[in-house]
Amino acid sequence: MTDDPLVRVESLQKYYYEQDTFVDRLLGREPQSVKAVDGVSFDIAPGETLGLVGESGCGKSTTGETLLALREATGGHVYFEGEDVFAMGDDDRQRFRRRAQVVFQDPYSSLDPRMTVGDIVAEPLQIHGQSDREGRRERAKELLERVGLSASQVDRYPSEFSGGQRQRVGIARALALEPEFVVLDEPVSALDVSVQAQVLNLLEDLQEEFGLTYLFIAHDLSVVRHICDRVAVMYLGEIVEIGETDDIFEDPQHPYTQALLESVPRAATSEHGRRVDALAGDVPSPRNPPAGCHFHTRCPYAREACREEPPAYDVGRNHEAACFRLDESHAYWESTPIAQNAADSEGADGVGESTGPDESPSEAD
């Protein structure tokens, strides 16, 4: 199944360059770049759901949009069924647009407030010149019913719907062209928990029914565990760990993944009063990421060797993580620990009251 991926992303890069002023150019200053996505690679097999998790601003959404060619990539390749998406001509690009869809996070901003939901759902058909007005309307009704709304609501405006219902409209629009691949960009983050479950179940049903392949972008780990087959963990524009969902959750290898999982509040009485060992410090600016392993400024195990870039180590069962600790013979073990992080961590329950989980902020980038 993994032999022939539907989507293959190869060292995808998206840099944003700050506007250089005339003076900058005059002085020959190097344009400063923000490395939103810095060399991300992964495969998604047909019918699979790959989760992409990480903190706000780590580049998950940018990855999703860049691989759909909604933003121009700075480097790297994306192959859709072996075809290079960035090298497609207009016709091929249009065919790709039909087969790969996206559902956005914000159900309020992603629906045009001046269009009826019927028009919104039928818009993809209109763009691709499919069927006539009446036919599109019928199809829109069908789709609305399929996502759990009623066909009689076809002439309503988005403002008359709740957040969960709007997200269903967004899903219906994404399904209108019968795509094979859907990028779900935090599709439930903006919804109430009870509604989240309904929408997640809907997404799972649709995947089964239409044989869809998902890239599921999220910061909520419990949601990811529920729906994803595999998970990729991103930190500052790079994937630090990728593997089967169960392996990631039961046996996380990268210190960042461990910290992320640790920070999830759990609903169990034995967990009551558990101290959450939050990560120290803030996410460094992607404008000037730390040299070497990006995580070394916050990693409890950081040593001098971490100022070099660690490669991804294979830890078996399709599970890879980028940390020197996975290589038992690496020079890492001989180098000196970086002081400021070690203080918080290795002294177990040290000083400094932690301020709670800052890992899963409710707002995304």
Partner 1 sequence: MVSPRTIRNLKREWRNNWLAKIGVALVVAILLVAVFAPLLAPYNPRSQSLEDSRLPPMGFTETENSTSSQFVNGSVQVVSERTTVNATWDHPLGTNQLGQDMLSRVIYGARTSLLVGALGTLLAMLIGVPIGLVAGYYRGRVDDALMRFADVMLAFPSLVLAVALVGLWQQAVWRIPDPFVAAGLAPSMPPDIVLPGTVIVVVGLVTWVWFARVARGEALSVREEEYVKAARSLGASDAFVIRKHVLPNSVTPILVLGTIQVAAIILLESALSYLGFSGTSLSWGFDINQGRDYLATAWWIATVPGLAIVLAVIGINLVGDWLRDALDPGLGGEGGSGA
* Chain centre to alpha carbon of residue 309: 23
126 CB-near residues (< 8 Å, 6+ apart)? 136
60 binds partner 1 (CB under 8 A): no
CB of 185 to partner 1, least distance (A): 9
358 CB-near residues (< 8 Å, 6+ apart)? 263, 278, 279
173 binds partner 1 (CB under 8 A): yes
Q: How many CA atoms lie within 13 A of 61 on its CB side?
A: 16
CB of 166 to partner 1, least distance (A): 11
2 binds partner 1 (CB under 8 A): no
154 binds partner 1 (CB under 8 A): no
**Can you tell me which of 4, 17, 31, 70 binds partner 1, judged by CB under 8 A?**
70
157 binds partner 1 (CB under 8 A): yes
C-alpha distances out from residue 57 to 60, 175, 258, 283, Å: 8, 28, 19, 9
65 binds partner 1 (CB under 8 A): yes
Which two three-digit tokens encode residue 322? 């980028």
Q: What does DSSP say about strands 213-218 and 181-185: parallel, antiparallel, or unpaired?
A: parallel
CB of 50 to partner 1, least distance (A): 18
User: Is the Cβ–Cβ distance between 294 and 236 less than 8 Å?
Assistant: yes
**Can you tell me which of 42, 80, 104, 324 binds partner 1, judged by CB under 8 A?**
104
Beta-sheet strand order (sheet of 7-17): 33-44, 7-17, 75-80, 83-84
Size of site (CB under 8 A) for partner 1: 29
22 binds partner 1 (CB under 8 A): no
**Can you tell me which of 33, 75, 86, 128 binds partner 1, judged by CB under 8 A?**
128
**Can you tell me which of 10, 106, 262, 358 binds partner 1, judged by CB under 8 A?**
106
CA angle 169/175/177 to nearest 5° reads: 125
Q: Which is nearer to partner 1, 105 or 297 (CB)?
A: 105
CB of 364 to partner 1, least distance (A): 12
Residues in 282-341 that interact with partner 1 by CB under 8 A? none
Which two three-digit tokens encode residue 85? 């998406």
**For binding to partner 1 (CB under 8 A), which residues are involved?**
65, 68, 70, 93-94, 97-98, 101-102, 104-106, 109-115, 120, 123-124, 127-128, 157, 159, 170, 173, 177
